[in-house]
Structure 1
Amino acid sequence: MPAQIEVFPCRSDNIGVLIHDPATGATAAIDAPEADPILEVLAARNWSLTDILVTHKHADHVEGILPLKDRYDIRVVGPGAEADAIPGIDVTVHDGDVVKVGQLAAKVIATPGHTAGHIAYWFEREEALFAGDTLFALGCGRIFENTPEEMWQSLQKLAALPDATRLYCGHEYTQSNARFALAVTPDDPALRERAAAIDATRAAGKLTIPSTLGEEKATNPFLRAGEPALAKAVSLENGRAADVFAALRRWKDKF
């Protein structure tokens, strides 16, 4: 039976996600921005929470952990490099490890950049990537603890996954990310079409998550730093892709 994935808003702009294994009844939350929305979806689906898979230590991704632990006997999995900052952590993981949620299996991918210990979870069979705050729909996370070069390498790891992979990210930033992407390449027809669809989705009160990695590779400026049009946009014609990416990230920080 295929995994069931529920996406819902948390806090002001966080994305809550639950992945459920119908074969065993196991259910994991990807991060825990706050407890109440997670509890509401669990109750609506008649699921019991068994796991929380943490991508990184920031408060808006871990504040719901302890209240959820008060309600359920759950296992909290998170990056070993940030274990000291994640409340209630039970199991630490590192790049290349495999995490099971019932019969579902996720590969851990180290993605330093937004934070030094940030990780993503890739459920290959389910074609689902939970990227936290590393890769967003049409964007990427701010770089707080690493270099732009390291963040670029992390994004390259995720971009190497199959195009059909669904991208679940940590925030609903897509509409503002689209405005920035259009400032970078305003005449890109694929981007213009996607931006219009995003506006319509948000106007209808719906979330834009998930996208696919194929969509991101075609339209996300931060994954296209190796293309001449993006290099030209930051006056780095013939520049290294990592340097173009760094220039794009600096621009976005001020946008």
Structure 2
Amino acid sequence: MKPLQIDVFLCRTDNFGVLVHDPETGLTASIDAPEEGPIVEAATRNGWTLTHILTTHHHTDHVEANLALKDRYGLQIIGPRDEAVAIPGLDKAVGDGDSFEFGNHTVDVIETPGHTAGHICYHFPDDKLLFAADTLFALGCGRLFERPAADMWHSLQKLAVLPDETAVYFGHEYTLSNARFALSIDPDNERLKARAAEIEAARAEGRFTIPTMLWLEKETNPFLRAADPAIRRNLLMETRSNEDVFAEIRKRKDNF
């Protein structure tokens, strides 16, 4: 089985456009559809024809181009069952534990409520790929708009148990801000300090910070590390629950 080909590019202001292409079958999926022009340009540049949109959640900056791309390509739109009424052009609704085939590649659906009530992520287990959109970022997680902090914490734990060598593609280029925040509550983490320096250099040169690796997030992303003793000490929350610590971290990032 030939590996999937992935192209990443910028949409809107800070959204990532991501195309996933199966060279054996010719299938090409856009992970969400933030903006028609850059997606069409990327597909054309690669010589790919879009066949699918894999929608993660209903926010406008992730579905705005759904109908335009469907009209252009006649593609299939797959998206979250719990947000079906809010996904333009939805053809197939999927939920937690569902699986489907993308060419010869299996896709598992993981429901991750928090950023929105019905947010889903797409996991390609054989390819060690996770498309996490606005649930898990490099060194961050999504803002809590529709579900409480405890729900997002449990959603993140569902992603954290995936194989360490999983490559994580996320929805926005927020990594530099996330790194600076992470250092504010975890200043003695040597791996984090080294990573923050790498991120500063990458962004200064205009390079993207996508994808990240799940093992790296487990070592440096404070939103996955509410149980870490050092972070708990720094927050003066050594006896509180993981959910409470996570909620405090998210609150501090909102005000950072």
Q: What is the TM-score of this pair, normalised by structure 2? A: 0.98
**TM-aligned CA deviation for residue 99 of structure 1:** 2.5
Name 1:208's counterpart in structure 2. Answer: 209
Deviations 1:187-216 (A, max 9, x none): 211001000111111111111000000000
Q: Is the aligned partner of 1:254 residue 2:247?
A: no
In structure 1, the residue matched to 2:115 is 114
In the alignment, the residues of structure 2 paired with residue 120 and residue 220 of structure 1 have an alpha-carbon distance, to the nearest angstrom, of: 18
Q: How big is the shift at 1:16?
A: 0.7
Letter in 2 for 1:92: A
What displacement does 1:249 show? 0.5
Equivalent residue letter for 2:75: I
Q: Which residue of 1 aligns with 2:65?
A: 64
Question: Which structure 1 residue ranges, 5 or more long, are not aligned?
Answer: none
CA-CA distance at 1:221 after TM superposition? 0.3
Partner of 1:226: 227
Conserved 8 A contact 1:228-1:238: no
**1:54-133 → structure 2 map (5 Å cutoff):** 54-133=55-134
**Structure 2: distance between partners of 1:22 and 1:105:** 15
Tell me how many residue pairs correspond in the alignment.
255
Task: Give 2:190's aligned residue.
Answer: 189
Q: For residue 139 of structure 1, report the CA deviation from its aligned partner.
A: 0.2
2: CA distance between counterparts of 1:30 and 1:185?
32
CA distance in 2, matches of 1:74, 1:151: 31
Secondary structure, counterpart of 1:22 in structure 2: coil
Match of 2:241 in 1: 240
Identical positions, percent: 58
Structure 1 counterpart of 2:198, which letter? Answer: A
Q: Using the alignment, how far apart are the partners of 2:21 and 2:117 within structure 1?
A: 29
Q: Provide the C-alpha distance between the structure 1 equivalents of 2:241 and 2:42, rounded to a whole number of angstroms.
A: 45
Uncovered stretches (5+) of structure 2, i.e. residues with no partner = none
Matches of 1:218 and 1:236, distance apart in 2: 20
Q: Does the alignment pair 1:174 with 2:171?
A: no
Q: Could you tell me how far 1:234 is from its partner in structure 2?
A: 1.7
Letter in 2 for 1:179: R
Q: Secondary structure of the residue that 1:164 maps to in structure 2?
A: coil
Specify the alignment match of 1:29 in structure 2. Answer: 30
Q: For 2:223 and 2:234, locate their aligned partners in 1 and report how far apart those are by CA, in whole Å.
A: 12
Quote how far apart the aligned CAs of 1:233 are: 2.1
Distance 1:88 1:72 in 2: 13
Deviation at 1:185, TM superposition (A): 1.1
Give the superposition deviation at 1:100.
2.1
SS at match of 2:123: strand
- Give, in angstroms, the shift of residue 128 of structure 1: 0.5
Counterpart residue type for residue 86 of structure 2: A
Aligned partners of 1:30 and 1:54 also within 8 Å: yes
On the 8 A contact 1:114/1:134 being kept in 2, the answer is: yes
- Letter of the 1:215 partner, please give it: L
Amino acid at match of 1:158: L
Residue deviations 1:40-76 (CA, integer Å, cap 9, x gap): 1101110000000000000000001111112101000
